[in-house]
Amino acid sequence: MIQCPRGTRDFLPDEMERRRFYEGKLRETAKTFGFREVETPIFEDSELFILRSGPNVLKELYAFEDKGGRAIALRPEMTAPAIRMFVNGMSNEPKPIKVFYFGQCFRYERPQSGRYREFFQFGAEIIGGATPQTDAEAIAMASSMLKALGIKDYRLRIGHIGVLRSKIADIGVPPERTAEVLQKLDKKLYDEARPLLEDMGVSSDDMDDLFDLTETIGGTEVLSKVPGEAGDWLRQVVSYLEVMGVDDLEIDLGVVRGLDYYTGMVFEAEAPALGAEKQICGGGSYTLSELFGGEKVFSTGFAVGFDRALLALEKEGAVYDYDGIDAYVLCASDDVRIKAAEIATTLRSSGISADMDIMDRKMAKAMKFASSARARYAVIVGARDLENGEVTVRDMNTGDQSNVRIGDLVERIRGRCAVSRFKE
């Protein structure tokens, strides 16, 4: 039996309904912040991702040569495609441009809990602005999204990459090796960073000061320890966040994000329920457009790891209540099946979700199937009732049933379903 490829998954109907529900929560939140949706191709020129992340990214790419000899890669993330799209078709539009996107990404890495080779990312970009308000807007929307999903326990950590960049420059790290050091600091790999820094002639005391800086974590009182323009910037960002209702944050100068195109504020969100691999969201301010042939434009963006966010909900014990259908139409006898199809069509045409027995089951088995389909109501079509222009409607939760005139059926089902949904 052929299985789906390693690191990928099939989503059966119940899981697909759950995912669409939570995806909808993210979309609704983005729209309330004035963002509009965009979509980019699942595959791009490999060069796009090499320019963004360097040639080492090829180890993680699903890359191939197409029939025209072009180097193509399935996208490993969606920020670079979004900025490429901006350069191609939106650079002359009024700024800021606020867009969001949702889609599949692909990375060739070892699958583990919450990490897959095919995964889903929900992200947003504010393109064309470099202000504390821009940064605060991105963080506030990310926080609102996590709340909308229903994640109860999460931490927002905010830093400024400029603090570490300045410190690294001050202790004598050559500019061309800054990214190499930041990548080690991002993962707190001090034992690996130390020999690198020794090779660059950095003293032991300066290394210790650098490592201590990455461990500077706390509430807003930590901002007093952040020097210069970076400190002033973060204080303004936090002031905006306070009036925007974001108070569940901490300052962490060790937030690096591991990518050398970040220019200022950086942030991450963690869900402790996930254990060691707890990051569910991250982003910051950056410039990328000049790498792709456009003018230099400052942006702030972030991405939510959708799969990990859903796993965090699961770990917290969240239970999704599946919708089911409004009505299931079944037959008391074979001679009314044409009429049953007509009634089901009438319900569907009126916006009521309805299914019907298409397997010629006896009524008992059809009723059992209606229950498995989570139907709110069963519409039983019988020859005797039809003589009076009626059908029988059974409430599948209570078992109560009554005769309803066919002309009143749509109003009756719609009214009762609206009440039951309101109560939920």
Could you give the 3-state DSSP secondary structure of residue 154? coil
Residue 184 — very low, low, confident or very high, per pLDDT cuts 50/70/90? confident
Measured distance CA(387)–CA(240) in Å, rounded: 69
Residues 103, 27 contacting (CB under 8 angstroms): no
Query: Mean pLDDT across the stretch 274-285?
Result: 91
Q: How many CB atoms lie within 10 A of CB 221?
A: 8
> In angstroms, how far is the first alpha carbon of the chain from the final one?
42
Alpha carbons within 13 angstroms on the beta-carbon side of residue 122 total 27
| Bridge pairing between strands 155-160 and 262-270 | antiparallel
Residues 264, 233 contacting (CB under 8 angstroms): yes
Residue 418 — very low, low, confident or very high, per pLDDT cuts 50/70/90? low
Q: What is the pLDDT of residues 17-46, one digit of tens each?
A: 999 999 999 999 999 999 999 999 999 999
Q: Longest C-alpha distance within the chain, in Å?
A: 96
Residue 340, phi then psi, degrees to nearest 5: -65, -40
Query: Mean pLDDT across the stretch 188-201?
Result: 86
| CA proximity to 135, closest of 343, 15, 301 | 301
Residues in Cβ contact with 422 at an 8 Å cutoff, skipping those fewer than 6 apart: none
| Bridge pairing between strands 249-252 and 262-270 | unpaired
pLDDT higher than threshold 60 for residue 422: no
Residues 285, 265 contacting (CB under 8 angstroms): yes
Residue 130, phi then psi, degrees to nearest 5: -135, 75
pLDDT of 217: 85
pLDDT higher than threshold 80 for residue 290: yes
Residues in Cβ contact with 398 at an 8 Å cutoff, skipping those fewer than 6 apart: none
Query: Mean pLDDT across the stretch 336-354?
Result: 97
pLDDT of 45: 96
Helices 228-243 and 161-170: angle between axes, nearest 10 degrees:
170
Burial (CB count <10 Å: 0-12, 13-18, 19+), residue 59: exposed
Query: Mean pLDDT across the stretch 219-230?
Result: 81
Alpha carbons within 13 angstroms on the beta-carbon side of residue 181 total 27
Measured distance CA(334)–CA(59) in Å, rounded: 62
Class of domain 327-423: alpha beta
More confident residue, 370 or 201: 370
Q: Which amino acid is at 158?
A: I
Measured distance CA(227)–CA(205) in Å, rounded: 20
By percentage, how much of the chain surpasses pLDDT 90? 69
Q: What is the pLDDT of residues 86-128, one digit of tens each?
A: 999 999 999 999 999 999 999 998 888 778 999 999 999 999 9
What are the CA-CA distances from residue 51 to residues 16, 58, 61, 80, 170 (Å)? 35, 11, 13, 9, 27
Query: Mean pLDDT across the stretch 242-257?
Result: 85
Lowest model confidence (mean pLDDT) among 222-236, 262-276, 409-423 = 409-423
- Cα angle 61-67-71, degrees, rounded to a multiple of 5: 30
Residue whose entry in the numeric block shows the structure tokens 């599949």: 104
List, by residue range, all CATH 3.40.50.800 domains of the chain: 327-423
Measured distance CA(33)–CA(357) in Å, rounded: 44
- Cα angle 232-244-25, degrees, rounded to a multiple of 5: 125
Query: Mean pLDDT across the stretch 163-170?
Result: 83
Measured distance CA(277)–CA(332) in Å, rounded: 55
Query: Mean pLDDT across the stretch 184-208?
Result: 85
Give buried/exposed letters for 224-246 (b at 16+ CB in 10 A, else e).
Answer: eebeeebbebbeebbebbeebeb
Residue 257 — very low, low, confident or very high, per pLDDT cuts 50/70/90? low
Alpha carbons within 13 angstroms on the beta-carbon side of residue 2 total 2
Measured distance CA(135)–CA(238) in Å, rounded: 10
Measured distance CA(167)–CA(94) in Å, rounded: 36
More confident residue, 184 or 9: 9
Q: What does the block give as tokens for 406?
A: 């066919």
- Superfamily name and number for 13-315: Bira Bifunctional Protein; Domain 2 (3.30.930.10)
| Average pLDDT score over the chain | 91
* Bridge partners (DSSP) listed for residue 301: 125, 284
H-run or E-run covering 294: none
Residue 258 — very low, low, confident or very high, per pLDDT cuts 50/70/90? low
Residue 167 — very low, low, confident or very high, per pLDDT cuts 50/70/90? confident
Residue 58 — very low, low, confident or very high, per pLDDT cuts 50/70/90? confident
pLDDT of 260: 62
